[in-house]
Structures are given as C-alpha cells and as structure tokens.
Amino acid sequence: MISSTDTVIVGAGPYGLSTSAYLTEAGVPHQVLGLPMHAWKNFTPPGMLLRSEAFASNLYAPWGGYTVEDWCRRNHIEYKPVGLHLPVEMFVDYGQWFQSELVGHIRPVEVADMCRKDGYFRLGLSDGSSLVARRVVLSLGLKSFGQAPSALRSVPKPYVLHSGDFGNPMWSKGKEIIIVGGGSRRSGWLR
C-alpha cells in the first residue's frame, strides 16, 4: 500500500512533535513517523536530570498553554523556571502530554529505506507499507548518531558500547568499565 503526504517528519521526540504542531498551524498536510518520546523514555538513564532549566525545556507550539510550566500547573507540581531539577521521567510525561494534546496523527513505524525519485521522497516503512512525500524533516535527535573514538572502532561489541545503545546503566553492575568522554548522557549516570 502506498500513501502520500506533503511532508513527513521522521521522529516523534521533542523536535518532531514541535515541528508537527507548527505544520498543523500552517495547514501543511504531514505525517509523523515514530514512537512519541521513545529515545528519551527508553535510552536515557532513569532519574537523570535535564541539563537545561525548566524555562528552557519547553516543546514549542504556535499556541499558548503547552509549556513545562503549564504542564506542572495542570498536574499540581510546583514549578520553578530555574532550579526545578527536571528529571527525565517528568520530561517524558510532559512530552507525551504535549503529543496527546497537539499531535494525534503519529504512525508508530520506522523508516526502513528512503530514496528521492522524480522530485519526491519514497519511504519504505517497517510495517511493509510505503509513503511518498514532497519533503522529509529528519527529527532524529542524537540516538542514531553515536560515535566511538577512532582507536576503538575496530573493537567489537560488547567490549565497546556507546551510551546510546541502552538507557539504564544497570547492565554495568558488577562489571569493570571505563567511560570515555563526558557528554550529557554519561555525566547523567555519574550523579
């Protein structure tokens, strides 16, 4: 089965959801592909605190009423623009609420392949269907782009892993490990 739309958003995390809200406001037909907040929910260490302050952690919508502050008010959670120490679980809940309010048209599929032909993008999806679109917005976040230092790239898994391969650090319990790098995901483990 082949369907078509003007624009496809690949990814249903914060950027994909915000992009969809703006395309809806602009009247642009589009489809969102992915699982809402999937990487944040499944590949971020439990209890990790966002580095950004609450006032800077909003998903964006062309309408008022969808900020972290609005979500906290609705859920009777004390809001502080600075110093809230927003845990990832709260951010995921906020993102899923944003999605349920503003982005109801998500297809829970992955893109298996994509090519451009005759001015259109043709996407093969994980459920066996196909989709044709004039534009594609890649809103993948960082999950799919983990890099190992060049000296370690030839070492096979499971001896060298990227923090994006898993979320809960319990896999390391009882093991001797070395953490190379100090990005946000790894430093969140060390709290």
Predicted confidence at residue 189, as pLDDT, reads 43
Does residue 145 surpass a pLDDT of 70?
no
> Tens of pLDDT along 60-89?
999 999 999 999 999 999 999 999 999 999
Are the CB atoms for 25 and 62 separated by under 8 Å?
A: yes
Predicted confidence at residue 141, as pLDDT, reads 73
> Tens of pLDDT along 40-50?
998 888 888 99
In terms of DSSP H, where are the helices of the chain?
A: 14-26, 38-42, 68-74, 88-102, 184-189
Instruction: Give CA separation, 156 vs 25, 112, 162, 166, in Å.
Output: 47, 24, 12, 16
Domains of the chain: 2-142 (3.50.50.60), 146-189 (no CATH)
Predicted confidence at residue 165, as pLDDT, reads 66
Q: CA nearest 16: which of 29, 3, 34?
A: 34
Are the CB atoms for 10 and 139 separated by under 8 Å?
A: yes
Distance, CA of 67 to chain centre:
17
